[in-house]
Structure 1
Amino acid sequence: MDYDAQGREGNKRVFQRLGGTPPNDNKQKVCYHWRAGKCNRYPCPYLHRELPPPPSQSTNGVSSKRPHGFADDSGFSGSRQRTPNFNSSSTWGRVQGGGVGGPRVKMEKLCNYWVQGNCTYGDKCRYLHAWSLGDCFSLLTQLEGHQKVVSAIAFPSGSDKLYTGSKDETVRIWDCQSGQCAHVINLGGEVGCMISEGPWIFVGIPNVVKAWNIQTGMELGLSGPVGQVYALVVGNDLLFAGTQDGTILAWRFNAATNCFEPAASLKDHNLAVVALVVGANRLYSGSMDHSIRVWNLETLQCIQTLTDHTSVVMSVLCWDQFLLSCSLDKTVKVWVATESGNLEVTYTHNEEHGLLTLCGMHDSEGKPVLLCSCNDNSVRVYDLPSFSERGKIFAKQEIRAIQIGPGRLFFTGDGTGQVKVWNWLAEPAAIAQ
């Protein structure tokens, strides 16, 4: 997969890791205009984020010595099974010198004429002529082929193939070295979701979950879903599927028969289940009924219903000891367990637009960041836990799928059917101000 979107950018392997050593923090400096919320320089030579606290300080109300971040970018850090303690003095939404929410970076507007390829102002245009804003990541290449919205992306561990699913009823398999589409699978139904787990690729389409073993070539169809399958996740040796009728179905793989057998059917939601995540021996499900349900993975019983969102819960994500959720109600909510074990909202981040999906990953320095796709055709990139804005990604239509890749790569898929490949850049040391 070469960096050659315009045909003249050279031949850099997408999966080639950038070299270089981490910058010396002593030489970094935070932009004071950004701290005041009014920096309009692009690119700005100074940091648009706060420097990390000294090792002796604590973050998120817990010791900084404690491992913290995404576990495989999907579960609780360190796969902790204990119940986290509620801490009202956590640093969510706070940065040095700022109040709740922190100073926001002044973001430029994407030039609509440039998007259409006919802006006559060129470099003199006051609007942005780029698919991203910020100096922490760069666009490597674009993958063309899907005819409708890209609804799912999967990158199996250790594979040299990228899988993308679309509402055009196909899954495309891309060769990561050449950047070419190696194979197109016609499914006969819109792809609602897709995940990879071990040697398996699971794809949710109306009324069935398709399963492929990429090592043996085995193909299976898991029946039982009613309507579209919107979400898939694996936990406690079970495959869970969130369906259009509000049911969560579970299958267990039987090695003796070499097939997946029905294991459970969870029916507490009133409307479609569109988001699933597993963490700390819990299954969390987000639904069109505006609720999040918490399920015990051992008993498969619903142990709590979270009703703080006022619209569809589009995505749920586990990070450290927290649960994050986003909704069309224009909020990201951060949940933490009280001493009783129940989850409560400890912080609410407000956006100007409805939110579609969340993705957590680490930047080039190993610091946690959150990617929030909004229905204004953009993705906001935030530091955690401060929610200080790091940058912004733009698209012609809504970005419905975000997936982590190897090294510093990540992928986005939008409503036009385009898949973009992005790379996190090493943080440059800021010059003296």
Structure 2
Amino acid sequence: MDVDGGSKRVYNRLGGDAKHQKVCFHWQAGKCNRYPCPFLHSELPASSHANGASSKRAHDNSGLSGFSGQRGRSNFNNSWGRGGGRGGGGGRGVVVKAEKVCNYWIQGNCSYGERCKFLHSWRVGDGFSLLTQLEGHQKAVSAIAFPSGSDKLYTGSTDETARIWDCQSGKCVGVINLGGEVGCMISEGPWVFVGIPNFVKAWNTQNLVELSLNGPVGQVYALVVNNDMLFAGTQDGSILVWKFNVGNNCFEPAASLKGHSRGVVSLVVGASRLYSGSMDNTIKVWNLETLQCIQTLTEHTSVVMSVLCWDQFLLSCSLDKTVKVWYATESGNLEVTYTHNEEHGILTLCGMHDSQGKPILLCACNDNTVRLYDLPSFAERGKILTKQEVRAIQMGPNGIFFTGDGTGEVRVWNWTAEATTTVQ
């Protein structure tokens, strides 16, 4: 796997007659000169569902800026959800077809070829492509980390192992047996942190120091770092805090934040606030200076699976099938300014920029798909199809991003320089 380059593209068309499946990109731009054109010169019908984030890092690894804490309303606030349906956000359309991947194609022996009515592709849409697949985990991939400046990818799984992958060869170069299911994993500087039941494991990739931080009760579901402090969301509803001691090169217990009645499954830091999403259906806002809860958000009706900071907004997703966009009022309290509805529960969010610098939101749903949306319009941009649901999405360098699914497979994707008419 070469994270600085591309890979051979597989020029397989969608099965069946392409004329009935894809709108001509050049026609949309008003300059198609092909007669006859193999693609539609008309818009596809709108989807039946409404148009419309899992960064657990403290800093800008999502490619989106942190929550700025602005207190005034802005005109930009009114643009949420104004995508005008498919093709919004710059006029890039999405291909819609019978969205089922051909089982025979997966096995490499579909005899219908281009005439197959099912997809011979793991993606729908243009502007991104599949580079390679990393296989080795025996159970679901629950976490992915790409340390800054490293040439190694780290993945964690419910098979109780972490794997280390060489980014040039795509080979697994190390397997770490952890003795417990991996609930989360992040990297910060030279450190990689892994949450397992009752412990947080910490590895320094430069000096090879290994630490085991005890204190959590039950599974550690979420981790985030801010100003030399490590926060861990745990199964019993606590958020444990450790402070890094430079002199001793260790992490010392600093605090335990209480307030959630059930497990804390998502954490994110923006400006001077910590945001925690929980199985108790709430999001709590914590002041990082006082470590006190200053607001509880109760608009979700099921588990808050992921929280993400973007510009002056907070985005959250839930098993209640919604993504909510929060904005700070003049009083400083967060209120919902837009709700995007999905047909299925949403498992995790990740924000990044495409090859043209446009902000994109990736939403992993429990129907074995990852939906891609332009922000702030929530215009549908594309879709990734998977064998089982995706629980982990991570951004890498140079337009690379990673997804890990329930089968244990990690896929490596990249944003392409321009729209293509091929599928992979």
The secondary structure found in structure 1 opposite 2:79 is coil
Q: Which structure has more RCO (C-alpha within 8 Å, separation ≥ 6)?
A: 2
- What does 1:370-409 correspond to in 2, within 5 Å? 370-409=361-400
Deviation at 1:116, TM superposition (A): 5.0
Specify whether residues 114 and 334 from structure 1 end up closer, same or farther in structure 2 by C-alpha distance, changes over 3 A only: farther
CA separation in 2, counterparts of 1:424 and 1:249? 37
**8 Å Cα contact 1:272-1:289 kept in structure 2:** yes
Aligned partners of 2:350 and 2:361 also within 8 Å: yes
Q: Distance in 2 between matches of 1:290 and 1:86?
A: 29
Partner of 1:16: 5
Q: Deviations over 1:17-75 (max 9, x none)?
A: 79xxxxxxxxxxxxxxxxxxxx96337425989xxxxxxxxxxxxxxxxxxxx962448
Pairwise CA distance, 1:225: 0.2
Give 1:257 shift: 1.7
Per the alignment, residue 107 of structure 1 pairs with 96
Question: 1:398: how far off?
Answer: 0.4
Whether 1:45 and 2:25 are equivalent positions in the alignment is: yes
Q: List per-residue Cα deviations over 1:277-303 (Å, max 9, x = no partner).
A: 000210000000000000001111000
Alpha-carbon contact 1:14-1:140 (below 8 Å) kept? no
Per the alignment, do residues 47 and 202 of structure 1 end up closer, same or farther by CA in structure 2, a change over 3 Å counting?
farther
Percent identity reads: 71
Match of 1:85 in 2: 73
Superposed displacement of residue 236, structure 1: 2.9
How well do the aligned residues superpose, as a CA RMSD in angstroms? 2.7
* Structure 1 contact 86–338 (Cα < 8 Å) conserved: no
Out of 163, 167, 171, the residue aligned to residue 172 of structure 1 is 163
Using the TM superposition, give the Cα deviation of residue 14 of structure 1 relative to its aligned residue in structure 2, in angstroms. Answer: 3.4
TM-score by length of 1: 0.82
Aligned twin of 1:251: 242
Native 8 Å contact 2:94 2:124 kept in 1: no
- Picking from 143, 153, 176, the partner of 1:152 is 143
Check 1:351–1:388 CA distance in 2 against 1; reply closer, same or farther (3 A cut).
same
Ranges in structure 1 where 5+ consecutive residues have no aligned partner: 2-12, 19-38, 50-69
Shift of 1:86: 6.2
Counterpart residue number, 2:120: 129
Give 1:85's aligned amino acid.
R
| Change over 3 Å in CA distance of 1:88–1:179 after alignment to 2 | closer
Q: Contact conserved, 1:356 with 1:373, CA < 8 A, in 2?
A: yes
Between Structure 1 and Structure 2, how many residues are aligned?
A: 379
Matched with 1:358 is 349
The residue aligned with 2:45 is none
Secondary structure in structure 1 of the residue aligned to 2:254: strand
Contact 2:166 2:173 in 1 (8 A): yes
CA contact (8 A) 1:160 1:176 kept: yes
For residues 125 and 297 of structure 1, what CA distance do their matches in structure 2 show? 55
The residue type equivalent to 1:42 in the other structure is K
Give, in whole Å, the separation in 1 of the partners of 2:125 and 2:64.
28
Q: Which residue of 1 aligns with 2:131?
A: 140
Distance 1:158-1:93 versus aligned 2 partners, 3 A rule: same
Shift of 1:123: 1.4
Structure 1 residues 45 and 167 mapped into 2: Cα distance closer, same or farther (>3 Å)? Answer: same
- Closer, same or farther in 2 for the Cα pair 1:152/1:84, shift >3 Å? farther
Q: What's the offset of the Cα at 1:16?
A: 2.0
Query: What is the CA–CA distance in structure 2 between the aligned matches of 1:343 and 1:115, rounded to whole Å?
Result: 48
Q: Could you tell me how far 1:84 is from its partner in structure 2?
A: 4.9
Asked if the contact 2:67–2:310 (Cα under 8 Å) also holds between the matched residues in 1, the reply is: no
CA displacement 1:184-204 (0-9 Å, x = unmatched): 000000000000000100000
Shift of 1:342: 0.4
Which residue of the other structure, out of 346, 369, 373, is the alignment partner of 2:337?
346
SS, match of residue 334 in structure 1: strand
Q: Give the letter aligned to residue 142 of structure 2.
A: S
Does the Cα contact within 8 Å between 1:170 and 1:187 map onto a contact in 2? yes
